[in-house]
Amino acid sequence: MSQIQPTVEVVPPEAAPPPPLGPAHRLRLPGWMRLLLSNPKSRVGLVMVGFMVIVALIAPLISVSDPTAFNLLAAGQAPSWHHLFGTTDQGSDIFSQVVVGSRRSLLLGAAAGALATLLATVLGLIAAYSGGIADDAINFLINVFLVIPVIPLLVVISAYLKNRNMGTMILVLGLTLWAFEARILRGQALTLRNRDFVQAAKVAGESTLRIVFGEIMPNMISRIAAAFVLVFYVSLLVDAGLTFLGLGDTTHTSWGMTLYWAQSLSAVEQGEWWLFMFPGMALVITVLGLTFVLAGIDEISNPRLRNDMRTRRRLVRRLIAPFVSGRAALHTEETV
């Protein structure tokens, strides 16, 4: 008789729990963001600018009323719980004007900065790499724009413009603020065009555009970023100044528009300080934040400034070391 073989039930092994996420699997920030966050000045600047950007993004949600609406029953009120930043002589809410106006002001400054940086980068790099007639022509154009005073030129151009909408002002600011950065970028590109990696690309038969924008430009990213930040806050201030003088777009809500109506209504003479203070504070926070970011970029990209920063940190540590050690010794004695 054949023996009956016992059946063995095969139990599949339990699935092993997934391994914990290590540092390599966590969310990694881009390299340029890690560098900016490693610098104290740029960290402070990013927080300040980021706050203003968040305010601009959520402006429709936190705005308490239409910034252009009139309410004569609430005209000329000082800051209170009902109107955090006060009201104008027509009863318009200043808080709504500041938060809604941040959208246009920041967008105009960023767009004008991007346009000016694009022109400065393209013309500066092509002039430095090409040399000869192209370099002479572009350098002559740069010198012409540098000789003409920018602010009087913008005042004259704005005075003759019939349409001063945001697109027109972006073009005007971008086309007049590019020359200074183009000169700096051209000088830096001149130091790179004879490097080994550029010569190797030439020998390999790479095209001029590939060499300029694929080999030279990546080594100038920090300087290009600094150019954008600089033109950003200059455009922001110039637009607010022109609008304050009545030479900008006073039909759309912006920080400059609020300042324009404040000076038109003689707010200072009437003691209505809040009309100037709050849009001015928004400008100060944004420009100061961009200045900190620019200083951080300079310290990161400039070895001399980076070494000076490390020296200052070591000096501060040496100065506070006796106090820290003395406090630690005192704490140990009290514990004993």
The dihedral of CA 17, 18, 23, 27: what is its sign? negative
**Dihedral sign for Cα atoms in the order 83, 88, 93, 98:** negative
Does the pLDDT at position 265 exceed 50? yes
Q: Provide the pLDDT confidence category of residue 103 given band limits of 50, 70 and 90.
A: very high
Is residue 96 a contact partner of residue 84, using CB atoms and an 8 Å limit?
Answer: no
3-12 per-position pLDDT tens digit: 555 554 554 5
Chain-centroid distance of CA 328 in Å reads 42
Which of 107-111, 192-196, 290-294, 318-322 has the weakest average pLDDT? 318-322
- pLDDT tens-digit readout, 269-292: 788 888 889 999 999 999 999 999
pLDDT classification of 111: cutoffs 50, 70, 90 = very high
User: Is there a contact between 100 and 253 (Cβ–Cβ < 8 Å)?
Assistant: yes
Give the whole-number percent of the chain exceeding pLDDT 70.
Answer: 80
User: pTM of the full predicted structure?
Assistant: 0.78
Residue 232 has pLDDT above 90, yes or no: yes
Q: Is the pLDDT of residue 130 over 90?
A: no
* Cα–chain center distance at 237: 13
Alpha-helical (H) ranges within 131-254 are: 132-147, 150-160, 166-176, 179-192, 196-203, 208-211, 221-244
- pLDDT above 90: percentage of residues in the chain: 27
Instruction: Read off the pLDDT band of 1 (50, 70, 90).
Output: very low
Pairwise CA distance, residues 170 & 206, whole Å: 35
Sign for the pseudo-dihedral over CA of 63, 68, 70, 73: positive
For residue 155, pLDDT over 80 is answered with: yes
C-alpha pair distances (Å), 309 with each of 37, 69, 298: 15, 50, 11
CB burial of residue 235 (10 Å; 0-12, 13-18, 19+): buried
